[in-house]
Structure 1
Amino acid sequence: MATTYTIAELAREFDVTARAIRFYEDQGLLSPSREGLGGRNRVYTPRDRTRLKLTLRGKRLGLTLSEIKSIVDMYETPKDTVAQIERFLTVLNHQRATLEQQRTDIEMSLAEITVHEEECRRLLAQDEPLKESDAA
């Protein structure tokens, strides 16, 4: 008998909520079979587990769900591996550029904060002698 997983098992293994897994199913990233009364119980295959793992990896990389689905779906039908790898490289390059721009923006913001902090400290240091003489 083939190995299968429940939604609770996958949620526990990957430290995500069952709700997140159901959302990925709604987005077409997972397609579990249904068992039990009225098909209420989701049954996930090793394929679903791998797709969930790849989805979560893509999310950590900052990819959109549509980008993730496109990439994961490409690997389901290995017809032209070169084209698949080139597509993945394009997505990764785009994400790298986005993250590098965000890093530049963050570094600029941190530099501005440092300037403002130094100015505030300078102003406070100038006012200290006044506060001490006021108290006398």
Structure 2
Amino acid sequence: MPTTYTIAELAREFDITARAIRFYEDQGLLSPKREGVGGRNRVYTPRDRTRLKLTLRGKRLGLTLSEIKSIVDMYESPKDTQAQIDRFLAVLGQQRVTLEQQRADIEMALEEIVAHEDECRRLLGGNHGNGEAGRDAA
């Protein structure tokens, strides 16, 4: 495993754009070193790679970037592991509640769609002949 990574290497490894990586940097999730003329080249450490991996995992879980940053920053502080785990559990629990509500809302919307589809099919079935006759007469 390399000691450092370029933005292109990380983008390729995680199948994201360099622009996304720069965005995460702007949000304070990553802090690469700068090298080259005028500091144009970003150099990412294994720490940055891990933070990016955790950021993408948090996004898949539906967490906000501020929640992700809070959690990732906590793990860099060796102060109180119990408090860190408690905070992570609280964030995960809240996200689970949010996702369960969204799932219930989606299921309700799907039931409504099925009911509307059934009603439309019923209406078409009852008037199907009339619609064709009107078109044929025109």
CA deviations over 1:4-60 (Å, ceiling 9, x no partner): 000000001001111110111111100100111111100000000000000000001
Extract unaligned runs of 5+ from structure 1: none
Distance change (3 Å), C-alpha of 1:130 and 1:49: same
TM-score by length of 1: 0.94
| 2:31 alignment partner, SS class | coil
TM-score by length of 2: 0.93
Give the Cα separation in 1 of the matches to 2:121 and 2:130: 15
Distance change (3 Å), C-alpha of 1:44 and 1:133: closer
Partner of 2:64: 64
CA deviations over 1:56-89 (Å, ceiling 9, x no partner): 0000100011100000001001211111000000
Identity %: 80
Extract unaligned runs of 5+ from structure 2: none
Partner of 1:90: 90
Distance change (3 Å), C-alpha of 1:81 and 1:131: same
Give the Cα separation in 2 of the matches to 1:131 and 1:36: 73
Give the Cα separation in 2 of the matches to 1:112 and 1:74: 43
Runs of 4+ in 1 over 2 A off after TM superposition: 128-136
| Number of residue-to-residue matches in the alignment | 135
Give the superposed CA RMSD: 1.4
Partner of 1:19: 19
| 2:34 alignment partner, SS class | strand
Partner of 1:41: 41
Give the Cα separation in 2 of the matches to 1:87 and 1:53: 19
